[in-house]
Amino acid sequence: MSTAVSLQTEMPRLERADGVARVAFALRRIGEREETRLADLFQDGSAKVRLPKVYDGSGPAAVFLNSAGGVTGGDHLSFEACFGAGTTATVTTQAAERIYRRADGVGHIDNRLIVEAGATAHWLPQETIVFDGAGLRRRLDVDLAGDARLVAAESIVLGRTAMGEEVTSVDLADHWRVRRGGRLIYADALRLSGDSRATLSGGATGRGARAFASVLVATSDAASRLDGARELIAALTVDGIEAGASAFEGLMSIRCLALDGRLLRTIVEPLIETLTGRPLPRAWSI
């Protein structure tokens, strides 16, 4: 007689990154003038905030970072910035965020901006690098007061082309929602699932691009800035780069495609400096 023994092995529970960071700016009277200063800061878990000194007159900057070193399935990060009435500030990231291959599930990144009356917000994170086998759900929610101003840019790079990396399996969803005075004025959604190289090889999808960026300007004079933006795009466009701009109802939207992340930066960086009227955040060059 024989006895069959069934053994069930449970997968070990993997550690997951979880973090929340918030920063707020407010006007403070310094002598005879008002300046934008830090009003509040909160950080928990792997989500952190750094506040480097800024000497170029562009106003304060908050640098968000993920001390876990990247995002994979099951991770959840939440970042929020509040720009108080009349303030001008920049929020960026310490380095490119990396989305790594996951064992299961997807990573989540939730970003929120609150821009109060007369404030100017610059949302300028560095690239998000997506590796083969990665999964990500990301949101950017922006609440603008009636006369608030916004320049926002997000870049995504599929693998490190200089290292010969291929991204043939990915599950990426990226959503933008911008409201002014509580009314939805801009909604955008990107979904890339499966073989990204095949999806982006078509003439109507990407023409072989492996890096892409969205830039949004929400200001009352957005339409009047369109011709200047298009002239700059034409001057910056070289082989391996495609870009275009459109304006409607107080918004200007710019899309950029490039064959790799290095090329993408050659057009995104000058666009950001021109649209904000300020130098790039120092973290971009460190």
Q: pLDDT for 104-156, tens place per residue?
A: 899 999 999 999 999 999 999 999 999 999 999 999 999 999 999 999 999 99
Report pLDDT for 107.
97
Report pLDDT for 161.
74
Q: What average pLDDT score do residues 232-249 get?
A: 96
DSSP single-letter state for residue 225: G
Each domain of the chain, given as residue ranges in start order, spans 18-285
With bands split at pLDDT 50, 70 and 90, how would you rate the model's confidence at 14? low
With bands split at pLDDT 50, 70 and 90, how would you rate the model's confidence at 241? very high
Residue type, 75: D
E-state strands within the chain = 18-30, 33-45, 47-50, 61-66, 76-83, 88-93, 97-99, 107-115, 120-124, 128-130, 135-144, 149-158, 170-180, 183-194, 211-218, 241-248, 251-258
pLDDT at 10 over 80: no
Q: Any alpha helices (H) in the chain, and if so which ranges?
A: 196-199, 226-236, 261-276
pLDDT digits (tens, 9 = 90+) for 44-93: 999 999 999 887 777 899 999 999 999 999 999 999 999 999 999 999 99
pLDDT digits (tens, 9 = 90+) for 172-222: 999 999 999 999 999 999 999 988 888 888 888 888 899 999 999 999 999
pLDDT digits (tens, 9 = 90+) for 250-259: 999 999 999 9
Report pLDDT for 33.
87
Mean pLDDT (the chain) is: 92
With bands split at pLDDT 50, 70 and 90, how would you rate the model's confidence at 12? low
DSSP string, 170-220: EEEEEEEEEEETTEEEEEEEEEEEE-HHHHTTSTTTTTT-SEEEEEEEEST
The answer to whether the CB of 254 falls within 8 A of the CB of 233 is yes
- Give the contacts of 230 (CB within 8 A, at least 6 positions apart): 245
Tokens encoding 55? 């000497």
pTM: 0.92
